[in-house]
Amino acid sequence: MFLLQAAGSALRVHAVRFGPGQELFGSLQAFVEERGLRAPFIITCVGSVTRATLRLANATATNTNEVLQLSGRYEIVSLVGTLNSDAHLHISLADAQGATVGGHVLGDLEVFTTAEVVVGDAADLQFSREPDPRTGFPELVVLTRSEEERAA
Three-state secondary-structure class, residue 24: helix
pLDDT tens profile 116-125: 999 999 999 9
pLDDT tens profile 24-60: 999 999 999 999 999 999 999 999 999 999 998 876 6
Q: How far apart, in whole angstroms, are the C-alpha atoms of residue 14 and residue 44?
A: 11
Q: What is the pLDDT of residue 1?
A: 45
pLDDT tens profile 55-105: 988 766 677 678 899 999 999 999 999 998 889 999 999 999 999 999 999
- The answer for residues whose C-beta is within 8 angstroms of residue 41's C-beta and 6 or more apart is 81, 82, 83, 119, 120, 121, 122, 127
Could you tell me the domains of the chain? Answer: 12-123 (3.30.1330.80)
Q: Residue 135 to residues 13, 35, 39, 59, 131: CA-CA distances in angstroms?
A: 31, 31, 22, 11, 8
pTM of the model: 0.86
Give percent helix, percent strand, percent coil of the chain, each to the nearest 5. 10, 55, 30
